[in-house]
Chain A
Amino acid sequence: MKPKVCILRTAGTNCDKETAFSFEKAGAQAEFVHINAFCSKQKSLKEYQILALSGGFSYGDDLGAGKVLANELKFKLSGDIKEFISSGKLIIGICNGFQILVKAGLLPGNENFTQEVSLIINDSGKFEDRWIYLKSPVNSRLSPVSGRLSQVKCIWAKNLPETIYLPVAHGEGKFITKDKQVLESLNKRGQVVFQYCDKQGNLSGYPDNPNGSVENIAGICDDTGRILGLMPHPERHAFSWQHPAHEPEKQGSGFLIIKNGVEYAKNNL
C-alpha cells in the first residue's frame, strides 16, 4: 500500500503542490489538509504515515518565521503530534516547515517541546534564492550507542552521495543554538544531518553558507532520526530538469531524500 503523506496547509503555505508531486513520484499518496481540519477534528493525523510541512510564509511569518503555526501545533495539536511521533511515524519540515518544527520545539526535540535552537534573519539581511552544496557530517554517521561508524542516523538522509546540490530560498535561515551544550549534543548524537559546503565538500563561508548558520548547519533531525528539518528545498531538485545546468542526472538529489522517507514508511509503518 502507498504510504499516506499529509501536506499541512494554512494561510501562506506554498511549495505544497510541488512537495506533494515529489512524494507521489516517490510512491506515496499525498493529501493536502488545512490546519483548521485538524483543529476541528474533521481530520485526524492518525490517517497518515508522513507529515510534511512545506515551505512558504505561514501567516506571513509576521512574528518571526513559522512562529504562529508553530504555536498552533504546540497549543492546539500537541497531543496528536506526540502520538504521531511516538507511533514511529515520520515528519519532514522544509524551509518554513523547518522553522515551524524548530519553533514548536519538535526539533531537536525534547519532552516538553522546549525550543532549543532557532532560525533567524540571514546575515546578509535579505531573502536569497540560490543553489548550494550540502554534505552530511561524518559524525552524523556515529552511532550514539556504540560510538562506532554506522549508518547515518537520519532515515531521510541514508545513502546520499558525498555532496548534494539543492536550492535555498529564505530570509530567515541562520541556524543558531541556545548555547554550546545544545550544539555539542546535536553533534554528539548525530543529529546534524546537513551542512552547507563548497562543491568539494569543504565547509566554507558566504555564499556557500548562504545565511551564516553556526557550523554551516542546514538541517537537523530529532534523536530518533525520523523527524528531519532542513532549509534547502529537496522538492526543487527532485528531477534533473530542475537543475540549473540541466545536468544529466537520472534523478535530482532532492528526490533521494523524499524517496528515503517513502521507502521507510513502506517498510516500517
Chain B
Amino acid sequence: MFYKIEVKDKPGIFDAVGDGIKRDISDFGIDSVSGVHFAQVYILEGYVSEEELKTICEELLTDKISQDFSVNALTGGRRQATGDEFTIEVAHNPGVMDPVEDSALKGIMDLGINGITSVKTSKKYLIKGKLTEAQLKTISEKLLYNKLIQHLVSPVTGRLSPVTCHLSPDKAEISYAFKLINVDLLNASDNKLMHISKQGQLFLNLNEMRQIKKYFKVLGRNPTDCELETIAQTWSEHCYHKTFRGKIEYREKNTENRKIRKIDNLLKSTIMKVTRELNKPWCVSVFKDNSGVIRFDEKHNVCFKVETHNHPSALEPFGGANTGVGGVIRDPLGTGLGAKPILNTDVFCFASPDTAFSKVPQGSLHPKRVMKGVVSGVRDYGNKMGIPTINGAILFHEGFVGNPLVYCGTAGIMPKDKSFKKTNPGDLVVVVGGRTGRDGIHGATFSSGELTHESEVISSGAVQIGNPIQEKKMVDTILQARDKNLYTAITDCGAGGLSSAVGEMGAELGVRVDLEKVPLKYSGLSYMEIWISESQERMVISVSPDKAEELLAVFAAENVEASVIGEFTNTEKLQLYYKGNLVCDLGMKFLHDGIPEIEKKAMFVLNNHREPKINCPKDLTKSLISLLGHYDICSKEWVIRQYDHEVQGGSVLKPLTGIVNDGPSDASVVKPLLGSKKGVIVSNGINFRFGMIDPYWMSASVIDEALRQVVAVGGSLKQTAILDNFCWGNPDKPDRLGSLVRAAYGCYDIAKVFGVPFISGKDSLYNEYAVHGHSIAIPGTLLISAISVMDDTDKVVSMYAKKPGNLIYVVGNTLPELGGSHYYDLAGYLGNDVPRVFAKKALATFNALSKASDLKLIMAMHDCSEGGIAVAAAEMAFSGGLGMELVVSAIPYVEAQSEKRKTKNKKSKSEEQRNDVILFSESNSRFIVEVEKKDQNKFENILKGISFGLAGCISEKKEFRVYGLDGKICISAGIGVLKKAWRDPLAW
C-alpha cells in the first residue's frame, strides 16, 4: 500500500522556496508567472492504521504552525492543468541518494510505528501564470530538474510527453546470480583491445592494453572483468597521474630556451624538487599521504589538501560540488590516523552568468545555473559537516562554458603522534560509513577523458548526491576510535572506491577481501560493481583482530555501520572472493608498477599577443567603477554568507570584514585550538588570464598572490606551505602539455626563491569539452593554495581603512604590465605584457611587512591583485566607511621591465607614464598599507631598501580621490557610489 502525503505552507505563510523559484524563472525572461508554490511530497509504503498515518503526518512530516498536509490515495492519475495553473512534480531517479528517506524512516520508527517499509520523496511546484509549452519545458528542464538524477513524476500539464513514475524503484530487488566474467584479451588484436577499452569505459591506451595482455599471457589465462577494471582504475590519470609522473620530451618556441628537454617525471623534477631542496624541518609528511602535513605546535600537526570535481559539477552542479566537498574532507580524515577537519576553501571558475543561452554548448547547463548549483552543493555539505568555509575565489571566462572548475579544499588538525599509519599483515579490513550502491561507477576513469555532449548520457553513473550527515557521524566516531588507538591505518574511499582504497593500503603487503561482506544499499550488484563503486561517505580502516570488537562498538554506539570485509596478508597479491569464488588474483607489483612508460611530446609556443593602444582617459572614475563591477572583482557576499564561515568558533579573520562586515579579506585566519593563540592562515592565488599569455608567469604570479595574501593579513612566510592544483586540457595534445610543463617550471623557480615548499597537490587534466569533434579546452589554470601557521593571532591585520588622518603607503614596484589585466579585459583585450615576479625583491618586501605587522605598526593592509592599485585602495576605503586621497606620482613605478623580453614585432613605444597604467596595472608583490602618523619613522625604517611610496592618507570625508601625474584629480567618487558598483553585480 502506498500513501502519498503532500505538505505545503499554510495560507498566509510566506513561501520562500516558491518565491526564489519565481525569481529564477524571471531570469529566463519569463515574466508571466504570478506565483510559485512549493509542496514536499512523501510516498510511504507499508501498512499503517488511519490513526498511525495521522500521527506520522502531524508529528513528523508537518510543522503544525506553518504547514498543512493532505493524504491522497495514489492512483497514478495525472492532474490536468486548470487554466493558468501548472503542476510540475520532480522525483529522484532510482538509486540516487536521498537523505530525507533515511531520516523519515527513522522518524517514523521513533514514533513507535513499524508498518512503513520505505519512504520516497518528490518536490511539487504549482506555477501560476500564462505559460506556453516551450516556456514550461524551459522552466522544468533548465531550472527544476536534472534528468541525470531526477525525473518528472506526472507529465507537465498533461500535454508534454508523459514520463513513467518510478514509484518504488529500489523495491524491485533485482537479485544477482553470480557468474564469473572473463574478458578475452589473449586472442584480441590491437583493434579489439582498443574496442574493449572503449566499450568498458576503461580509458586505457593501446600500450597499456598490450601490457595487460602480456601479463595475463604469462599467467596463461584471461583476466576477469574485475581484474581489468581494477587495473584501469589504478592506472587512470586520476589515480596514477601518468602525465606528471611519465616521460616528456619538451621544447619551446619563441623563447630564449632552444634546447629540447627530456623530462623524467615532471612532478619530481619541479614541484617535489622545491620541497626536497628546501628540506624544511616542519614538513612532517609531504606527497605521501592523502594530504600534506606540517607542524602546528609542539603537540599537533595540520594537514591540507585541495581537490577538483570539475566533470561531475559540469553535469550535475549541486551533486558534483556536494560530493567534491565530501570527498576532500575525507582526505585529511584519511591522513595519518585521521585529522579533524577544521576549514574548507572553495574556488570556482565559470563562464559569465550573462552568457546567452545560444552560446551554451549542447549538453551543457547554463553557467548561472551551474554557479547556483555549485554554491548550493558546497553550502549543503560544508555547513552540515560543521566545517567553516573560510576562503575562496570565483572567476569567470567564456572558456569554462562547457567545463567549469570546482576546487574544494580541506585542512585538518591531528595530534603529532597520530600522523603516521602502518598496516600489518593479519590486520582486518574494515569498511565504515555509507553503504555501497551502483552510484558513481567509473568516476575515476570518467574524469580521465574529455567531456563530450554525450557524457551526460554515458557517464551519468558518475554523478552522485552526497549525504553529509552520514559523513558527519562517521567523522565523529572515527576520531573517537583514533583517540582510543583502535586501528593501525585509515584511508578514504574516493575515486576508484574500494579498489583504490584497499589496493593502496595493501600495496606493500597483499590483501584478501570477501566482496559479499560489503554492506549494500540494495541487492543486485555484481562482485565487480561492489569493488569499483564510488559510493560516497566511506572509509577503509585496518585493525588488529584483537581490537576489532571494540572498534566496531564505537561505530555502533552512534549508528554508524562498519563491517569486516577481509584481511591484509603477506602474499603481495590482491585477492578478491565473492561467496568463495576467486574473482580477482593480481600481483600487487604489476598493479602498482606495471604501467608501461610512454613518452609524451610537449611543445610550448610563446605567442605574441597584440598590446592594445588605448588612450588614457582624463577622468578614470568611470574605469574604476567598471572595474569594481567586473565579475572577477566584485563582491562575492551572496556566496560567502551562504557558507557558515564561523562554525567551530575559531574564526579570527573572517572572509568578510570592515565597518559593516562586507569588505573582502585577503585571507582568512582560524584558530583550530580555541585555547591557543596560534592560528592557521589560508589563502589562494589563481589567474588564468596571465596563463593565456605565458603560463610561466601565471605560476609565478599566483604563487606570489597566495603568499602576499598571507603577508597581508599579518602572517609571514616562516612556516608557510603551498599546494598546487593544475586544471588543464588534454595532455595528449603537445600544445596543452607544453604549457603545463612551462607552468610547472615557473612553480619551481619562484617557490624556490620564496623558500616555500609544496606539500601536496593535484592535477585534473582532460578539461576539454568536445561537441561533434570540435574540442574546447579550458584556459590552463593553476590554483595555488597557501597554508601558514601564525604564532600570535592577536596580530592579525585586516584590510579596511581604520582612521582618518592615517598614512597610506604603496609598497612594491608598479610596472607597465597590463597584459591579462582586468582593465584590458573591459576593453576586450588580453594584451601581452604579463606581470612578472621579481622574487628576491618580493621576498624582501614580504619579510619587511611581516616584521612591521609583528611590531603592530600596520593598521590595515590590502594586497593589490585584480584591478590593481585603484581597486585595492577603493576597497579599503569603502570597507572602512572612510575616504581616501592618493597621489599617483608618489606610487613607486619602474618604467620598463628590467630585462626586456625578446618578442618579435614589438615596437618600442614611448614609455611615458600614464595614470591608467599605474593605477590599473596588475604587477605582483604590491600592497597598500595604512600606518599611523606616529609610526611613520619606525615603519619606513623597516622598509629600508624596499620600494615604497607615501602615497596618500585616509580622510574623514567619504570621498575617494586620486590626483594624477599632472596634479589634477583623475578619480573622484563618493565611497557609497564605489561600494554600490562593487556590491551589486552578484547580489542575487
Min CB distance A25 to B, Å, is: 9
- Interface members, chain B 299-350 (any A CB < 8 Å): none
Asked whether any CB of chain B lies closer than 8 Å to the CB of A241, the reply is: yes
Residue of B nearest to A15 (CB): B647
Residue of B nearest to A207 (CB): B641
Contact string, B5-24, partner A, CB cutoff 8 A, digits 1/0? 00000000110110110000
In the bound complex, CA of A14 to CA of B387 (Å) = 9
CB contacts (< 8 Å) of A125 on chain B: these are 16-17, 19-20
- Interface members, chain A 61-87 (any B CB < 8 Å): 62-64, 67-68, 71-72, 75-76
Q: A18, A57, A131: which contacts B384 (Cβ < 8 A)?
A: A57
CB of B65 within 8 A of CB of A246, answer: no
Residue of B nearest to A12 (CB): B469
CB contacts (< 8 Å) of B798 on chain A: these are 245-246
- Interface members, chain A 121-165 (any B CB < 8 Å): 121-131
CB of A128 within 8 A of CB of B642, answer: yes
CB of A241 within 8 A of CB of B793, answer: yes
Min CB distance B515 to A, Å, is: 28
Q: B379, B472, B647, B659: which contacts A11 (Cβ < 8 A)?
A: B472
CB of B559 within 8 A of CB of A241, answer: no
In the bound complex, CA of A120 to CA of B40 (Å) = 14
CB of A116 within 8 A of CB of B106, answer: no
Asked whether any CB of chain B lies closer than 8 Å to the CB of A36, the reply is: yes
In the bound complex, CA of A68 to CA of B56 (Å) = 12
Asked whether any CB of chain A lies closer than 8 Å to the CB of B107, the reply is: yes
Residue of B nearest to A34 (CB): B558
CB contacts (< 8 Å) of B104 on chain A: these are 62-63
28 contacts between A and B (CB under 8 A): A12-B469, A12-B472, A12-B473, A13-B386, A14-B385, A15-B648, A17-B674, A21-B649, A21-B674, A34-B558, A59-B103, A60-B468, A62-B102, A64-B63, A67-B107, A68-B60, A71-B60, A118-B63, A118-B65, A118-B66, A123-B14, A125-B19, A127-B379, A129-B640, A130-B641, A169-B644, A178-B64, A236-B646
In the bound complex, CA of A96 to CA of B14 (Å) = 21
Asked whether any CB of chain A lies closer than 8 Å to the CB of B620, the reply is: no
Asked whether any CB of chain A lies closer than 8 Å to the CB of B549, the reply is: no
CB contacts (< 8 Å) of B61 on chain A: these are 63
Asked whether any CB of chain B lies closer than 8 Å to the CB of A103, the reply is: yes
CB contacts (< 8 Å) of A222 on chain B: these are none
CB contacts (< 8 Å) of B604 on chain A: these are none
Asked whether any CB of chain B lies closer than 8 Å to the CB of A262, the reply is: no
Most chain B beta carbons < 10 A, residue from A60, A120, A177: A60
Min CB distance B604 to A, Å, is: 44
In the bound complex, CA of A85 to CA of B62 (Å) = 27
20 other A-B residue contacts (CB within 8 Å) besides A128-B642, A178-B65, A241-B671: A12-B468, A12-B472, A21-B674, A57-B384, A62-B104, A62-B469, A63-B104, A68-B60, A68-B107, A71-B107, A118-B66, A120-B63, A127-B379, A127-B644, A129-B640, A129-B644, A129-B646, A233-B646, A238-B649, A245-B658
Q: B17, B103, B559, B646: which contacts A60 (Cβ < 8 A)?
A: B103
In the bound complex, CA of A36 to CA of B555 (Å) = 12
CB of B386 within 8 A of CB of A177, answer: no
- Interface members, chain B 56-75 (any A CB < 8 Å): 59-61, 63-66
Q: Which residues of A contact B (CB under 8 A)?
A: 9, 11-15, 17-18, 21-22, 34, 36-37, 55-57, 59-60, 62-64, 67-68, 71-72, 75-76, 103, 115-118, 120-131, 167, 169, 176-178, 212, 233, 235-236, 238, 241-242, 244-246
Q: A56, A123, A129: which contacts B645 (Cβ < 8 A)?
A: A129
In the bound complex, CA of A120 to CA of B674 (Å) = 32
- Interface members, chain B 637-664 (any A CB < 8 Å): 640-652, 654, 656-659, 661
In the bound complex, CA of A17 to CA of B671 (Å) = 13
Asked whether any CB of chain A lies closer than 8 Å to the CB of B158, the reply is: no
In the bound complex, CA of A238 to CA of B14 (Å) = 34
CB of B661 within 8 A of CB of A21, answer: no
In the bound complex, CA of A131 to CA of B661 (Å) = 8
In the bound complex, CA of A60 to CA of B98 (Å) = 11
In the bound complex, CA of A11 to CA of B794 (Å) = 34
Q: A57, A63, A115: which contacts B107 (Cβ < 8 A)?
A: A63
In the bound complex, CA of A9 to CA of B469 (Å) = 13
CB contacts (< 8 Å) of B472 on chain A: these are 11-12, 14
